[in-house]
């Protein structure tokens, strides 16, 4: 089943002004239900513009956005309903916290769609648990929490709306390594338990390849690469050329290959590099 289909999407900012600029240009892509997709690209590559089309925050200059088999800008589709199906979490989502308590903040969305108090409470607790928001925090002010904790409260607020597609714009930006791993692993866990479709935007190639099944690399408003994670770094040279980083461990494998030792182009985790190197050494010993 297709969750997202984008056909010939183009978007221009400032049409008719001297500042007219094409941010997304003729993008085509399809995402299947339940996939975990990573999106990477440097600033200005069009990734934020692209994701704002997924729940209709931006209306395409040209082309179509089809969510759950509905063309979201056709007359018989209510765009408000699309926004319930697609949850969009912005960068520094903790800036959106505003309520007196964590519970009230997470409850804000569900309450506004007219759910009963009981249903709201169930949803809040379920979302809080999914994001590792401790029960004892629920009655505290969200502003007393650490940066990483606040971030997870904001995410819980979106999850409480039970979207079928979750789009996250740099959920780990600015966090320390512990906070980053905690947020991302909770998102991954939620993906596995709920089976929803997730799109994760990040500047960190290391994070993207650690969590996503497939990777979209954006460049100059277009899709530069859309590939399964294992195959991404067979394009390492091209990725470096457009100014993106590849993980240090991948650079190490490439360097090794230059010296005539091939441990594969799918090296991006320490675990896999370790296995391949141990194999290599074993083979060397048995020869």
Partner 1 sequence: MEIIRTENLHFDYEIYDDKGAVVDKSSALCGVNLTVQKGEFLAILGHNGSGKSTLAKHFNGILTPTNGKVFVNGIDVSDDKNIYEIRQMVGMVFQNPDNQIVAAIVEEDVAFALENLGVPPLEIRERIDEAMKSVDIYKYRKHAPHRLSGGQKQRVAIAGVIAMRPQCIVLDEPTAMLDPKGRKEVMKTIKFLVEKGITIVLITHYMEEAAQAKRVVVMHNGEIIMDGAPKQIFTQVDKLKSVGLDVPQVTELAHELRKNGLNFPANVLNENEFVEELIKLL
Site mask for partner 1 (CB under 8 A), range 2-41, x = bound: ----------------------------------------
Site mask for partner 1 (CB under 8 A), range 153-192, x = bound: --------------------xxxxxxx-------------
> What is the C-alpha to C-alpha distance for residues 4 and 10, in angstroms, rounded to an integer?
16
- CB closer to partner 1, 130 vs 267: 267
DSSP code of residue 71: E
Quick check: 88 binds partner 1 (CB under 8 A)? no
Q: Which of 33, 245, 264, 265 is the binder for partner 1 (CB under 8 A)?
A: 245
- Strands of the chain (E only): list them: 2-13, 21-32, 36-40, 62-67, 70-71, 86-89, 165-169, 197-201, 214-219, 222-228
Quick check: 281 binds partner 1 (CB under 8 A)? yes
Quick check: 143 binds partner 1 (CB under 8 A)? no
Q: Which has the closest alpha carbon to 249: 279, 217, 271?
A: 271
Q: Which residues of 54-91 are buried (b: 16+ CB within 10 A; e: fewer)?
A: bbbebebeebebbbbeeebbeeeeeeeebbebbbbbbe
User: Interhelix angle for 248-258 vs 270-286, to 10°?
Assistant: 30
**Region near partner 1 per CB under 8 A, out of 27-35, 94-102, 152-160, 247-255:** 247-255
> What is the C-alpha to C-alpha distance for residues 74 and 65, in angstroms, rounded to an integer?
10
Quick check: 115 binds partner 1 (CB under 8 A)? no
Quick check: 220 binds partner 1 (CB under 8 A)? no
Q: Which helix (H) or strand (E) holds 99?
A: none
Quick check: 65 binds partner 1 (CB under 8 A)? no
Count of residues in contact with partner 1, rule CB under 8 A: 35
Residues of the chain by 3-state class (helix, strand, coil), percent to 5:
45, 20, 35
Q: Which of 42, 104, 111, 220 is the binder for partner 1 (CB under 8 A)?
A: 42
Q: What is the contact surface with partner 1 in residues (CB under 8 A)?
A: 42-44, 146-148, 173-179, 203, 206, 243-245, 247-249, 251-252, 255-256, 259, 261, 270, 273-274, 277-278, 280-281, 284
């Amino acid at each position: 089943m297709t969750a997202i289909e984008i056909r010939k999407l183009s978007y221009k900012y400032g049409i008719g002004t001297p500042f007219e600029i094409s941010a997304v240009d003729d993008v085509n892509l399809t995402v299947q239900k339940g996939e975990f997709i990573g999106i990477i690209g440097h600033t200005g590559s069009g990734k934020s513009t692209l994701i704002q089309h997924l729940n209709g925050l931006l209306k395409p200059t040209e082309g179509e956005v089809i969510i759950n088999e509905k063309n979201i800008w056709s007359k018989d589709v209510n765009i408000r309903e699309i926004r319930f199906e697609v949850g969009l979490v912005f960068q520094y989502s903790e800036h959106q916290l505003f309520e007196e308590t964590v519970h009230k903040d997470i409850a804000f969305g569900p309450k506004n769609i007219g759910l009963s108090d009981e249903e709201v409470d169930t949803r809040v607790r379920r979302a809080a648990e999914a994001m590792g928001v401790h029960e004892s925090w629920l009655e505290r002010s969200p502003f007393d929490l650490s940066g990483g904790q606040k971030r997870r409260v904001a995410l819980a607020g979106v999850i409480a709306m039970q979207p079928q597609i979750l789009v996250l714009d740099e959920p780990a930006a600015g966090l320390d390594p512990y906070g980053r791993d905690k947020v991302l692993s909770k998102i991954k866990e939620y993906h596995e338990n709920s089976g929803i479709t997730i799109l994760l935007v990040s500047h960190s190639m290391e994070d993207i390849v650690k969590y996503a099944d497939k990777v979209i690399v954006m460049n100059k408003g277009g899709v530069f690469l859309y590939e399964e994670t294992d195959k991404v770094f067979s394009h390492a040279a091209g990725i470096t050329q457009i100014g993106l980083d590849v993980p240090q461990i991948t650079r190490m494998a490439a360097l090794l290959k230059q010296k005539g030792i091939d441990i594969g182009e799918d090296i991006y985790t320490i675990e896999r590099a370790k296995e391949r190197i141990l194999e290599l050494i074993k083979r060397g010993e048995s020869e």
